Structure 1
């Protein structure tokens, strides 16, 4: 398995770990090649740190690819699974959106000629090009639409995965007690409206949009509302933005955490106005915990919000005033009870746990295919 960086709180990294552990449970040997690793290495996983460096990201990834491809030639692996787009993969886990589509939407046609963008387009072509054989695990209908539009002929190699929510994300029987305990711990009164945003990579997650929406609330409501931010990332410019907009005391950064389900119980609304996101697992986690969700249609799992009837989705093109208005409406809406009950019932209507099992079947199938002479 090839992954550039592992740390415990990233969505891609959590998916990687679920799939790696499921492969181990099935009796397979799992070797991982990465540039860096934060946290413990589970028993059974053989970790290889790739000793390359570079100033620019795309050069670093090129050197990583060259090193790993040379290393893999000396081994006898049955299947190579990559969690980022790169050459030489038997199976690719599409954690990222279609890069070619992102370039089109952002009108970056001139940027196509810069080395950085050429690198990412070339690596995407190495996975999705019509002459490739890489089997691709995708996460959302939006990905399927975008990849097939830019890479005709890849359709038969795309495999939709169900979400991979951990069962420990389900609400327990002590939800009200947990809600009270968390609010007491952080000295929050019962009538305060706690807005939760979870995810590392604050720029892509649209944290600036969240802060602006909070600041745009009417004064009386703004004084009752507080934005809690969970995730790893640089906070300086977001703290500065919050202070400039007069809500510096209404935004709290709680860092990366392992106890996120406690905050699903304690908070009143989940906010995820991302610029783009292939999936967005925390959207589903919020839904099945009964939290009303406000997100953007740039998130792959936004369709679950509509399907569940558990909140609202901002359409593209994004408009800050639209997000502001929807946040205001949702915080005072009488539909809050319906959104909550619809979300709690959603877990019984769709498969939100089966990712790792489906991924294992795809990986095993690819391994068998690779052993058949062509």
Structure 2
């Protein structure tokens, strides 16, 4: 079967991009041919993938995305595919992987009414309707229950078209048998890179789009720690984003020497083993896969309830969740309480590893492949 995957941009450190790659590889492992349409691709191309970089440019993203759709549809007319799978909302999809939140809900609750007269709004609203509208036949792969009621409210999407997937945590995120040895080695390496000393606490935040992930909130919480605790705590934020405003914030709050932003990294599993707490106080987050990556590594989590996967942390009793509406004071107090309680950190670590052994947190790629190749044309 010929499968055509569509996404605007691939880069190795994006959560949606990692999910795309694992799903496409799962389909390929079952003997299906993989064609990928992108506007941009960073990194290696897996063997056997037919990668097509669509030659469309424009000043505005929504014009570029419309041009991408027209180009892809013309190419598919010449070279048909048995299934067209999208990781961004667009017309003509057989299957859509719903990693992004409901655009219409955001447009009506977070924007002024005049925004809905803009060309940008008309484009994204029409593309979302092409996927979720009741007349569409697109099957929808949901990775969280939080957004489904919003899509149904705005579009009347039939319930039968939604397919809720289990999480898909990569096996390399699980704590290995030699986790203690690897933690010691990683902390020694981080001592050289970040000045991490014996007895100091390491907070890690992982994910691009620093503002949406709440890095400014984490920096403020670090700065609010009591002075003795603040002096022995460091924050490392991993992700592909412009660090400038956050570096300035850290300097302004007097913690510039305790906050590090080294960019995207390939050694994320080492950070999950070496850190003491994962922070993820996101403003909005459909899932928050990194919460579960931390959980299966045995790393206690402090996150906002805006994350779709926050309930897993509560189910596992593996950290704390700050309720919505968000309170910076609550985040500050919760972080202080966690870092000041080593017994609780050890208990959360134990609970996380036990939960990781008993819950299905890993089969998203296989379940998605079941649905993709099982669709009838």
Query: What TM-score do you get using the length of structure 1 for normalisation?
Result: 0.95
Specify which of 51, 55, 73 is matched with residue 51 of structure 1: 55
Contact 2:141–2:165, Cα closer than 8 Å, also in 1: yes
Is 136-145 or 21-30 further displaced after alignment? 136-145
Aligned to 2:83: 79
Alignment of 1:31-46 (within 5 A): 31-46=35-50
Aligned to 1:118: 122
- CA deviations on 1:228-267 (whole Å, 9 max, x unpaired) are 1111111111111111111100101122111111111110
- CA deviations on 1:328-373 (whole Å, 9 max, x unpaired) are 111113422221111011112221111111111111122xx11xxx
Specify which of 9, 14, 19 is matched with residue 15 of structure 1: 19
Matched, 1:228 2:264: no
Q: Which runs of 5+ in 2 are unaligned?
A: none
Deviation at 1:107, TM superposition (A): 4.8
Specify which of 200, 209, 214 is matched with residue 201 of structure 1: 209
Looking at structure 1, the residues matched to 348 and 105 of structure 2 have their Cα atoms a distance apart, in angstroms, of: 32
Aligned to 1:337: 346
Aligned to 2:374: 365
Q: Which runs of 5+ in 1 are unaligned?
A: none
Query: Where in structure 1 do 4 or more consecutive aligned residues deviate above 6 Å?
Result: none
Aligned to 1:183: 187
Aligned to 1:283: 291
Contact 2:298–2:352, Cα closer than 8 Å, also in 1: yes
Aligned to 1:254: 262
Looking at structure 2, the residues matched to 260 and 341 of structure 1 have their Cα atoms a distance apart, in angstroms, of: 20
Specify which of 350, 359, 375 is matched with residue 350 of structure 1: 359
Contact 2:201–2:232, Cα closer than 8 Å, also in 1: yes
Contact 2:151–2:157, Cα closer than 8 Å, also in 1: no
Looking at structure 1, the residues matched to 329 and 166 of structure 2 have their Cα atoms a distance apart, in angstroms, of: 33
Looking at structure 1, the residues matched to 83 and 70 of structure 2 have their Cα atoms a distance apart, in angstroms, of: 18
Looking at structure 1, the residues matched to 183 and 370 of structure 2 have their Cα atoms a distance apart, in angstroms, of: 39
Q: Secondary structure at the match of 2:213?
A: coil
Aligned to 2:30: 26
- CA deviations on 1:187-233 (whole Å, 9 max, x unpaired) are 22231110000111112111111111111111111111110111111
Aligned to 1:131: 135
Aligned to 1:3: 7
Aligned to 2:282: 274
Looking at structure 1, the residues matched to 239 and 315 of structure 2 have their Cα atoms a distance apart, in angstroms, of: 27
Alignment of 1:282-301 (within 5 A): 282-301=290-309
Deviation at 1:118, TM superposition (A): 2.3
Q: Secondary structure at the match of 2:136?
A: coil
Specify which of 50, 62, 65 is matched with residue 66 of structure 2: 62
Q: Secondary structure at the match of 1:203?
A: helix
RMSD: 1.3
Looking at structure 2, the residues matched to 312 and 121 of structure 1 have their Cα atoms a distance apart, in angstroms, of: 36
Q: Secondary structure at the match of 1:335?
A: helix
Deviation at 1:149, TM superposition (A): 2.5
Deviation at 1:274, TM superposition (A): 0.9
Alignment of 1:290-329 (within 5 A): 290-329=298-337
Q: How many residues are paired up?
A: 368
Aligned to 1:265: 273
Looking at structure 2, the residues matched to 151 and 205 of structure 1 have their Cα atoms a distance apart, in angstroms, of: 28
Q: Secondary structure at the match of 1:348?
A: helix
Looking at structure 2, the residues matched to 62 and 257 of structure 1 have their Cα atoms a distance apart, in angstroms, of: 32
- CA deviations on 1:122-171 (whole Å, 9 max, x unpaired) are 11111001111100001011122322232223311010111111111111
Contact 2:7–2:86, Cα closer than 8 Å, also in 1: yes
- CA deviations on 1:252-296 (whole Å, 9 max, x unpaired) are 112211111111111000000111111111100101111110111
Q: Secondary structure at the match of 2:302?
A: strand
Alignment of 1:90-109 (within 5 A): 90-109=94-113
